[in-house]
Amino acid sequence: MLSVQYFIVFLITEIIFVKAGNSVDFDKKRPFLKYYETISYDNNALHQHHQRLKRATNEEERLIPLDLFAYQRKFEMILRRDAGIFADDFEVVSGTRSVPTDISFIYNGELRDENGSFCHGSIINGHFEGFIRTQNGTFYVEYEKTHSNGKVDTFMYHESDIDYSLMKDAESYELTLKKYQLLEQMSLKVKGESPTRKKRSMDLSRTTCLLYLKADYFFFQRFKSVEKVISQISSYLVSVNSIFEHVNFNGIKHINFKVKLLNVLQEKDPSSPMNSAYIGPEKLLMLHSQSNWNSYCLSYMLTNRDYNGVLGLAWNGNSGNEFGICSKFAKYDKAPDTDVTLNTGIITIQKYGQYLPARLIHITLAHEFGHSLGSPHDESPNCANFISNNNDNGNFLMFPYAMDGNQYNNDKFSTCSIHYISNILQVKMDICFVESGRPTCGNQIVEEGEQCDVGSRSNDSCCYGAKLGDPLQCTLRPGKQCSPSQGLCCNHTCTHKTSGERCQEEAECTLETYCTGVSPKCPKRPPKNNYTLCNFGSRICLNGMCRQSICVKYGLEQCDCDGNDLYEKCQLCCQVPGNPYSCRSTKSAELQPIFNNTPIYLPPGSPCGHRQGYCDKLFICRYVDADGPIARLKNSFLYLIESEDVAAWMKARWWAILLIILTLAALMAGTVFLFGRTVDSEKDTGVNKSSLKKQSQRNRTVYCEEDITTSAYLQYETRL
């Protein structure tokens, strides 16, 4: 039986020197930043907009505009909710206790005036934190309480403003090289003993690696809340995914990571061996590995401990079940009594007592994931540059220690790393990866990078099917003009439909459209005139979408109808903006000049009664009664569906109350008459018989008391 060798890959970094007398003034708490700018915006308005978004009903209301001023420019962001890095069954726990999961504060977006830009971040208590990718690089936005009065400072810095002077320390450079050469020898031993598997066909739609992440108590203490922990992790993984998703691992594309379970330790556990702040990184990784992580592709711990320059550790993946992705819980040969799962790694966000900038954490996590997927450090001269420091493009992501970070190659995999990771994915991807929902040739949806998509059909006359593989799959056949899979304006002869042929019908807010004769796609439907009525006449069209209430057309705003009439509650009511006392139905006398006493009803399913009910098909407000069927029975019995006053009901139906009283009195009299007779005792009963009867009664009383006592005790035990 082959002895399983193992090794841990260290990410060694060097000491950063902050030069005295630097002309750029920066906070001593942020020695990693050479420059940053403090920014301000209306936090209360942003918080209120975020809260309103929870009740938004249309697409326009689901967008948050946010303008930031820094670096002599205006960043006009358009943000929308996006929790794509969390699995559908994402769960948050704290130890063994479940924690309410809310990820509604995570946003993605873009800059309004720059195509190809990307924004990601969170909005917590009116504060935005995240990053903005532009044509001129990436800007990072962070905030922190820096004053005793609780005032929060928000600042922005560019990726080039991070101080990477650690790269110029020759002593640390030599130490790193020696560590790398030692690990290289261990790596060769492991490679020689790793089991091999025969390559097999893969399901290319299974490209998502589900994660278990544990944020230890030290990590939690850095951010103080579960929301901020989730925000940080979201930022980490969005950046990591942007690195992996764009790499072609020998035909395997769109590799990405999602969080399935997040464990946030909000309190110290004195009984845990990981509780101490002085555990070394190797011991911490081994302790974290001593759990069964079979349900996850990878399991990582996030901490905020100072490991003197070591930012991360991970087991390097191989093609067997021992290390890296998809590893299984098994005996550890160096400790036969210990079961471990070695699909694990750790990341620390601290170095030499200082919190790292976001970009360095992103690169560190991507580096460690690279190890978990099977890539060792770059060892070929074509991939690593140990001799010369004058590489204009910089070293690649899997270089043995931290890089400049802002050079072209720093967040990219070398050809060596791509080769290693490709081999591991081909063997292990089907074991623990899941379908990602990413663009896939063969799903009959034309997506980015595809000319057409007819599924797996190989006999389609216009388009090559997915079974043919690269480079033919999802491309047009020679001489064919188009494919019906591209749009409604391509016929089955693989040519464009004639100009003027209708391809889309008229809708509430858009007109019908016609083919152009030069494109397979049906043109975008032109909008109808603004203020055209839609949605049963209760709303108006704006720019081709049924967006606003008809009240807006007349300078009013929609409101909830008051009153006791359940029919009226499902009528459209308008009010003067900001004046709830002016809320009236469209059939009211006050709004007669506008609506001519015509009631406009809300569409079925609309909320009514201050959002406590819904309108049915008969335009009656049906309340969702939290008391359930008992309350509905009560209402039906008392005829209080119209919410009548109880006193008025009694006054109007006095005869019913009198009838009920007389009926009850008659029932009581009859009961007394039938069952109120007493039976005289038998006077001829002897004394002995009477005493025996009394003794029997006493015995029964004792037994009864014993039964009651026993039942009470058992009930108490059950509650325990």
Burial (CB < 10 A; 0-12, 13-18, 19+), residue 622, is: middle
Polymer length in residues for the chain: 720
Q: Which segments of 171-308 are extended strands (E)? A: 206-215, 256-264, 298-303
d(CA 6, CA 336): 15
Q: Out of 368, 379, 450, 568, pick the active-site residue.
A: 368
d(CA 274, CA 172): 29
3 state SS of 325: coil
Q: Which candidate, 433, 206, 472, places its Cα nearest to that of 317? A: 433
Q: Say which residues have a Cβ less than 8 Å from residue 71's Cβ, sequence separation at least 6.
A: 37, 139, 156, 158
Neighbours of 21 (CB within 10 A): 4
Neighbours of 455 (CB within 10 A): 17
**Token representation of residue 191:** 């490679």
Is 371 labeled as ligand-binding? yes
Query: What type of residue is 146?
Result: T
Helix, strand, coil % over all residues of the chain, rounded to 5: 30, 25, 45
Contact 618, 605 (CB under 8 A): no
**DSSP-assigned states of every residue in 186-221:** HHHHHHHH----------TTEEEEEEEEEE-HHHHH
Query: What type of residue is 256?
Result: N
Is 49 labeled as ligand-binding? no
Contact 362, 312 (CB under 8 A): no
d(CA 147, CA 615): 51
Contact 131, 235 (CB under 8 A): yes
Peptide bond before residue 527 is cis, with ω within 30 degrees of 0: no
d(CA 332, CA 322): 9
Contact 418, 376 (CB under 8 A): no
From residue 246, alpha-carbon distances to 9, 71, 84, 239, 253 in Å are 25, 29, 17, 12, 7
Is 367 labeled as ligand-binding? yes
In DSSP terms, 121 is beta-bridged to 107, 130
Task: Report the number of secondary-structure helices (H) and strands (E) in the chain.
Answer: 12, 32
Q: Which segments of 592-639 are extended strands (E)? A: 607-608, 613-615, 621-623
In the block, residue with structure tokens 């060694």 = 12
Q: Determine whether 129 is an active site residue.
A: no
Q: Which residues are known binding-site members for Zn(2+)?
A: 367, 371, 377
Q: Which residues are known binding-site members?
A: 367, 371, 377
Among all residues, which ones are annotated catalytic?
368
